[in-house]
Amino acid sequence: MPALVLLGAQWGDEGKGKATDLLGGSVDYVVRYQGGNNAGHTVVVGDQKYALHLLPSGILSPGCTPVIGNGVVVDPSVLLSELSGLNERGVDTSKLLLSGNAHIITPYNVTVDKVTERFLGKRKIGTTGRGIGPTYADKINRVGIRVQDLYDESILQQKVEAALDVKNQLLTKLYNRRAIAVDQVVEELLGYAEQIKPFVADTVLVINQALEEDKVVLFEGGQGTLLDIDHGTYPFVTSSNPTAGGACTGAGVGPTKISRVIGILKAYTTRVGAGPFPTELFDEDGEALRRIGGERGVTTGRDRRCGWFDAVIARYATRVNGLTDFFLTKLDVLTGWEQIPVCVAYEIDGRRVEELPYSQSDFHHAKPVYETLPGWSEDITKAKSFSDLPKNAQNYVKALEEMSGAPISAIGVGPGRDETIEIKSFL
Ligand code: GDP
Ligand code: IMO
Ligand code: MG
């Protein structure tokens, strides 16, 4: 009954897509459990590069069944265009399963996301503008539209009416926008229904039966621990639970079923959008990390903010997710620095703090306390085992492991599938 959760240990973009794809060949199901097309997961297979937003990265492994779980929010137009894009490139997508309980990102949710951000002005979150927050808000407010609603026109009509009731008041009276017509939305959503129908399934039943049959199931998180609505840097977060508990609610499996929780951890730190980021660099080093690491958003094309590795955050991720392993990515990007600073604690108003403060104001004031580790200059992209790494790179990995609270079981030394050092098998 191996059930693995693979999730981001920082602020997203840690390399989850690559890690999922790497395991894809040995797992039977890959399940997305939260988020939506705010995610951008890059997978490099040979000379082919894929950018996946909504579909689980397992879709690129022929033996694997990709599943979009109940906790995901689904924009049907994005789903269909991502599927056809992959079909055109010869990828078989016919095995996809989509939960009938997943919520739909409607066109009005996308509109509300954009106008809200504009209205917030300087206080904006810097969302991806994909309608994620408003769709989860509708879900919690019990005015959401679910995939299954597409197959009952009268229910769909009633639900869209209910959802637009208040929103149209806000749009016209507060945001000075035109009202959105119920019929138009219903017509658009019904237009997707037949094309999506072959994928719709009782995914909770399928996943639990698979686990009973001893199949290997991998739960692939979107975003990352510090973007979690409960455990992240609220309010500068996404509107779902990328942390390990989210895999249980977002896929319908009990916590007793989960056997391993793997945190994907970049060898330095990045963040997209607004919010606190203690180790952020505004100098040439930050610029170099961005350039060498190719740190530009897959979804929005925004430059990612870059900084040194933050062990306080890694320890926090170990704690809130119950991590059993880390997969350290992008170690190759650090090649060439003579000295590499690593944040081991914070200084907050003159005090040394070892753990992530729960208080938002404290975190905003946190200054990194750095320890500096010696770097390496040798090319490491061809390394196949830990002992192939230069001594200083080995020591950097060991130091991070020591500080972060869980074993590093794999190391990424390049974007390709085979550019990985496996220390301990995940299966
Ligand atoms: P995700 O959202 O967590 O899947 O990560 P993204 O795909 O948004 O960003 C990670 C980027 O790093 C992608 O361009 C990957 O191809 C790339 N990548 C992943 N692992 C490695 C690695 O070990 N080394 C290098 N150089 N690039 C990597
Ligand atoms: P992957 O899966 C990095 C960020 C946005 C913004 C905040 C809220 O590729 O790691 P949202 O549109 O979700 O309401 O935006 O969350 N964000 C991400 N940052 N990687 C992601 O996904 C992200 N998905 C959302 O930039 O700050
Ligand atoms: Mg990404």
User: Catalytic annotation on 41?
Assistant: yes
Q: Is residue 96 part of a domain?
A: no
| Global pTM exceeds 0.95 | yes
From atom 11 of ligand 1, which residue's Cα is the shortest distance away? 15
| 338 shares a domain with 227 | yes
| 81 shares a domain with 111 | no
| 404 shares a domain with 307 | yes
Residues with a CB atom less than 6 Å from ligand 1: 8, 12-18, 40-42, 44, 294, 298, 329-330, 332-333, 412-415
| 361 shares a domain with 290 | yes
Q: Is residue 83 part of a domain?
A: yes
Q: Is residue 93 part of a domain?
A: no
Q: Is residue 330 part of a domain?
A: yes
Q: Which domain holds residue 323?
A: 3-87+203-422
Q: Is residue 277 part of a domain?
A: yes
| 418 shares a domain with 363 | yes
Which of 198, 219, 244 is where one domain is finished?
198
Q: Is residue 98 part of a domain?
A: no
Query: What CATH number does the domain containing 122 carry?
Result: 1.10.300.10
| 254 shares a domain with 142 | no
Q: Ligand 1 center to residue 227 CA distance, Å?
A: 18
Which pLDDT score, from 0 to 100, does residue 427 have?
87
| 217 shares a domain with 166 | no
Which pLDDT score, from 0 to 100, does residue 173 have?
94
Q: Ligand 3 center to residue 297 CA distance, Å?
A: 7
Mutating to test ligand 2, I would choose from 50, 127, 270 the residue with most ligand atoms within 8 A of its C-beta, which is 127
Output the tens digit of pLDDT for each of the chain's 427 residues.
699 999 999 999 999 999 999 998 899 999 999 999 999 999 999 999 999 999 999 999 999 999 999 999 999 999 999 999 999 999 999 999 999 999 999 999 999 999 999 999 999 999 999 999 999 999 999 999 999 999 999 999 999 999 999 999 999 999 999 999 999 999 999 999 999 999 999 999 999 999 999 999 999 999 999 999 999 999 999 999 999 999 999 999 999 999 999 999 999 999 999 999 999 999 999 999 999 999 998 888 899 999 999 999 999 999 999 999 999 999 999 999 999 999 999 999 999 999 999 999 999 999 999 999 999 999 999 999 999 999 999 999 999 999 999 999 999 999 998 999 999 999 8
Query: What CATH number does the domain containing 221 carry?
Result: 3.90.170.10
Selected catalytic residue, list 21, 28, 41, 53: 41
Domains of the chain: total? 2
The residues with which 307 forms a beta bridge, in sequence order, are: 269, 280
| 247 shares a domain with 179 | no
| 284 shares a domain with 156 | no
Which of 198, 230, 252 is where one domain is finished?
198
| 245 shares a domain with 343 | yes
Which pLDDT score, from 0 to 100, does residue 340 have?
98
User: Catalytic annotation on 139?
Assistant: yes
| 406 shares a domain with 379 | yes
Which of 147, 181, 198 is where one domain is finished?
198
Q: Is residue 94 part of a domain?
A: no
Q: Is residue 95 part of a domain?
A: no
User: Catalytic annotation on 75?
Assistant: no
| 108 shares a domain with 83 | no
